[in-house]
Amino acid sequence: MAEPLPPPSDAPSTLSVDDEKARVTDAVAAVARELEQRGAQAGGAAQDVLEAQAMMAEDPSLADEVDTRLAQGKTGEFAVFDAFASFRDQLSAMGGYLGERAADLDDVAQRVIARLRGVAAPGVPDPGHPFVLVAKDLAPADTALLDLDKVLALVTTEGGPTSHTAILAREKSIVAVVGTVEAKGLRDGQMVIVDAAAGVVTTDPTPDELERAQNRAAARAAAATAPLTDGALADGTPVPLLANLGNADAAAEAVTLGAEGVGLFRTEFLFLSANQAPTVEQQREAYTKLLAAFPGKKVVVRVLDAGADKPLPFLNDAHEENPALGLRGLRALRASEDILREQLTALAEADAATSADLWVMAPMVSTVEETQYFVDLARDYGVKTAGVMVEVPSSALLADRILAHADFASIGTNDLTQYTLAADRLLGSVATFQDPWHPAVLRLIGEVGDAGRATGKPVGICGEAAADPLLAVVLVGLGATSLSMAPTALADVRASLLQHTLEDARDIAEAALAADSATSARTAAQEASTRRAALAAANTTDEGAQQ
Ligand code: PEP
Ligand code: MG
Measure the CA–CA gap between 433 and 420, rounded to whole angstroms: 10
- Looking at the fold, whether 86 and 156 belong to one and the same domain comes out as no
Please indicate, yes or no, if residue 391 is contained in any of the structural domains.
yes
Does the Cβ of 104 fall within 6 Å of ligand 1? no
- Looking at the fold, whether 394 and 291 belong to one and the same domain comes out as yes
Measure the CA–CA gap between 325 and 423, rounded to whole angstroms: 12
Q: What are phi and psi of 409, to 5 degrees?
A: -125, 145
- Looking at the fold, whether 94 and 139 belong to one and the same domain comes out as no
Residue 61: per-residue pLDDT: 87
SS (H, E, C) 297-350: CEEEEECCCCECCECCCCCCCCCCCCHHHCCCHHHHHHHCHHHHHHHHHHHHHH
Please indicate, yes or no, if residue 489 is contained in any of the structural domains.
yes
Please indicate, yes or no, if residue 539 is contained in any of the structural domains.
no
Residue 546: per-residue pLDDT: 64
pTM for the model:
0.77
Please indicate, yes or no, if residue 178 is contained in any of the structural domains.
yes
Under 8 Å CB-to-CB from 269, ≥6 apart: which residues? 246, 247, 310
CB 540 within 8 A of CB 234: no
- What atom in ligand 1 is closest to the CA of residue 463? 3
Among residues 194, 223, 252, the one where a domain terminates is 223
Nearest-10 crossing angle of helices 102-117, 76-94: 170
Measure the CA–CA gap between 411 and 66, rounded to whole angstroms: 47
SS (H, E, C) 425-454: CCCHHHHHHCCCCCHHHHHHHHHHHHHHHH
CB 307 within 8 A of CB 328: yes
- Looking at the fold, whether 315 and 200 belong to one and the same domain comes out as no
Measure the CA–CA gap between 352 and 450, rounded to whole angstroms: 34
Q: What are phi and psi of 386, to 5 degrees?
A: -120, 130
∠ CA 35-38-44, nearest 5°, is 110
**Ligand 1 center to 511 CA (angstroms):** 26
Q: What is the CATH number of the domain that holds 169?
A: 3.50.30.10
Q: What is the CATH number of the domain that holds 239?
A: 3.20.20.60
- What atom in ligand 1 is closest to the CA of residue 413? 3
Does the Cβ of 176 fall within 6 Å of ligand 1? no
**Ligand 1 center to 269 CA (angstroms):** 12
Does the Cβ of 486 fall within 6 Å of ligand 1? no
Domain count, the chain: 3
Residue 417: per-residue pLDDT: 95
Does the Cβ of 462 fall within 6 Å of ligand 1? yes
Measure the CA–CA gap between 481 and 81, rounded to whole angstroms: 52
Would you write out the chain's pLDDT as a tens digit for each of its 547 residues?
A: 456 788 898 899 999 999 999 999 999 999 999 999 888 887 777 788 888 889 889 988 899 999 999 999 999 999 999 999 988 888 777 766 677 778 788 889 999 999 999 888 877 777 788 899 998 877 777 887 788 888 899 998 877 665 667 777 877 778 888 878 777 788 888 999 998 877 788 999 999 889 988 888 888 788 888 889 999 999 999 999 999 998 898 899 999 999 999 999 999 988 877 889 999 999 999 999 999 999 999 999 999 998 877 778 898 877 888 889 999 999 999 999 999 999 999 999 999 999 999 999 999 999 999 999 999 999 999 999 999 999 999 999 999 999 999 999 999 999 999 999 999 887 767 878 888 999 999 999 999 999 999 999 999 999 889 999 999 999 999 999 999 999 989 999 999 999 999 999 999 999 999 999 999 999 999 999 999 988 888 887 766 666 5
Among residues 173, 200, 223, the one where a domain terminates is 223
CB 194 within 8 A of CB 155: yes
H/E element holding 54?
Answer: helix 44-57
- Looking at the fold, whether 271 and 212 belong to one and the same domain comes out as no
Measure the CA–CA gap between 173 and 151, rounded to whole angstroms: 12
Handedness of CA 524, 203, 440, 235 (dihedral sign): negative
Measure the CA–CA gap between 22 and 64, rounded to whole angstroms: 14
Q: Which domain holds residue 178?
A: 131-223
Does the Cβ of 415 fall within 6 Å of ligand 1? yes
Measure the CA–CA gap between 287 and 268, rounded to whole angstroms: 12
∠ CA 61-66-72, nearest 5°, is 130
| Candidate of 462, 482, 483 to mutate for ligand 1, largest count of ligand atoms within 8 Å of Cβ | 462
Among residues 117, 146, 178, the one where a domain terminates is 117
Distances (CA, A) of 342 to 273, 284, 304, 479, 515: 19, 10, 11, 34, 46
Amino acid at 18: D
Measure the CA–CA gap between 314 and 32, rounded to whole angstroms: 30
Going by CA atoms, what residue is nearest to atom 4 of ligand 1? 412
The closest alpha carbon to 342, from 301, 300, 382, 283, belongs to 283
Does the Cβ of 425 fall within 6 Å of ligand 1? no
Going by CA atoms, what residue is nearest to atom 3 of ligand 1? 412
Q: Which residues are catalytic?
A: 164, 462
